[in-house]
Amino acid sequence: MKSYWKVSLAALAVGAGIWIGSIYNTTATGAGTTPGTTDDPVVTKSYVDQQIQQALNGGGGGNTNPTNPTQPSQGADEVKNVALKPGKILIADAGTEFIVRSGNAVIYTEVASGVADLTDGKDLLNGETAPKNHLLSFPREGRGIQVKEGQTSNLIVMVRGGYTIK
């Protein structure tokens, strides 16, 4: 058989395979479904916008009523800048995070264990200096920071979470 016949036959076989495959694929994926049916629902723009807004707000399709007491408050992740005067102690609630921005701070704890310095990956114990611009995590209540003894200026701390000043 001549080579151009072999090439022509091979091209015909490949073309037929592609054509049969495309027909099979169209029927297998259900491309013939009608829009608006349960297989291919039509949704409105307002429904899509509502679902996007719920996803952005962390909702799982639940109640979007802001007065619902079961939902967390919107300000739970809010960062506050707190000025701490010398002689005062900033006590963190469990799970609160601090970043010392200016001034010299030391760790205050009522127990032997300390505070997690997430930036360096180590624990800071009572009386140790809290480094500036390090993320500090307070795993339990009764722990905090205070202005280093001898400093006369305020301590500026970024706080995410609950706290009290003593």
pLDDT tens-digit series, residues 66-95: 433 333 334 557 888 999 999 899 999 988
Q: What is the reported pLDDT for 98? A: 92
- pTM (predicted TM-score): 0.52
Task: Report whether pLDDT(159) > 90.
Answer: yes
pLDDT tens-digit series, residues 97-155: 999 999 899 999 888 778 989 998 898 888 888 999 999 999 888 899 999 888 888 89
CB burial class (10 A; 0-12, 13-18, 19+) of residue 140? Answer: middle
Residues near 101 by beta carbon (within 8 Å), at least 6 away in sequence: 81, 132, 133, 156, 157, 158
Per DSSP, what are the bridge partners of residue 164?
91
Helix (H) or strand (E) holding 107: strand 105-109
